[in-house]
Structure 1
Amino acid sequence: MPGDLSTWIRAGAMYNTSEFKDLSELATGGTKSGVPGFYLLADRQLWQQDPSSPLTAYRGIYVGGTAMYTPPKTAAFYQYYEGRLYWIGPSASRPKDMLSLVYSRNEVSPHLADFVNGFATETLVGARYNTNTITASYTAHLRPGIWGTLGVAYTDHPSISYFPREGSSLNFLGCLFLLF
Structure 2
Amino acid sequence: MIVTYDLSRFGIPDGQIIVGAEQQYWTWKPGGPDRLGINIIAYYQTFLDRKLELKMGYLRNQNEFAGTVVGGSAGASVLGPSSNILYQAGMSNNAAPTPALNVKYNFDDRVYNKASIQRSLSPDGQYAQITENPTGLNWSTANAGILLLDETGYKNKAAPGLPETWLRAGAGFNNSSYTNFHYPKQPRANANSVYYVAADRQLWQSDVQGSAYRGIYGGFSVMYAPPYLNRVNQYYEARLYAKGLFDSRPSDQIAIVATNTVWSNFAVDAALAKGNLVHRDSTAISGTYTAHLAPGIYASVGLAYINNPTSITHTRQTGHALNLLVSTSIFF
TM-score normalized with structure 1 length? 0.90
Q: 1:158 aligns with which of 309, 312, 332?
A: 309
1:168 corresponds to: 320
2:84 corresponds to: none
Q: 1:92 to 1:41 in 2, by over 3 A?
A: same
What does 1:18-167 align with in structure 2 at a 5 Å threshold?
18-26=176-184, 28=185, 30-53=187-210, 56-120=211-275, 125-159=276-310, 160-164=312-316, 166-167=318-319
Letter in 2 for 1:60: G
Shift of 1:34: 1.9
Q: 1:22 to 1:138 in 2, by over 3 A?
A: same
| Residue ranges of structure 1 left out of the alignment (5+ in a row) | none
Shift of 1:162: 0.6
Larger % of strand: which?
Answer: 1
Shift of 1:167: 2.4
Shift of 1:16: 1.2
SS in 2 for 1:33: coil
Q: Equivalents in 2 of 1:90, 1:37: separation in Å?
A: 35
Cα deviation, 1:89-143, whole Å, max 9, x if unaligned, reads: 02122212111110001000000000000111xxxx3221100000011011233
Q: 1:119 to 1:110 in 2, by over 3 A?
A: same
2:166 corresponds to: 8
Q: 1:32 to 1:178 in 2, by over 3 A?
A: farther
Shift of 1:148: 1.8
Q: Equivalents in 2 of 1:71, 1:21: separation in Å?
A: 12
Query: What percentage of residue pairs aligned between the two structures are identical?
Result: 37
Shift of 1:144: 3.3
| Residue ranges of structure 2 left out of the alignment (5+ in a row) | 1-158
2:48 corresponds to: none
Q: 1:32 to 1:152 in 2, by over 3 A?
A: same
RMSD: 1.5
Letter in 1 for 2:287: A
2:131 corresponds to: none
Q: Equivalents in 2 of 1:148, 1:16: separation in Å?
A: 37
Q: Equivalents in 1 of 2:330, 2:174: separation in Å?
A: 30
Q: Equivalents in 2 of 1:59, 1:69: separation in Å?
A: 32
The structure, 1 or 2, with the larger RCO (C-alpha pairs under 8 Å, 6+ apart) is 1
Q: Equivalents in 2 of 1:161, 1:12: separation in Å?
A: 30
Q: 1:114 to 1:49 in 2, by over 3 A?
A: same
Q: Equivalents in 2 of 1:170, 1:146: separation in Å?
A: 27
Number of equivalences: 173
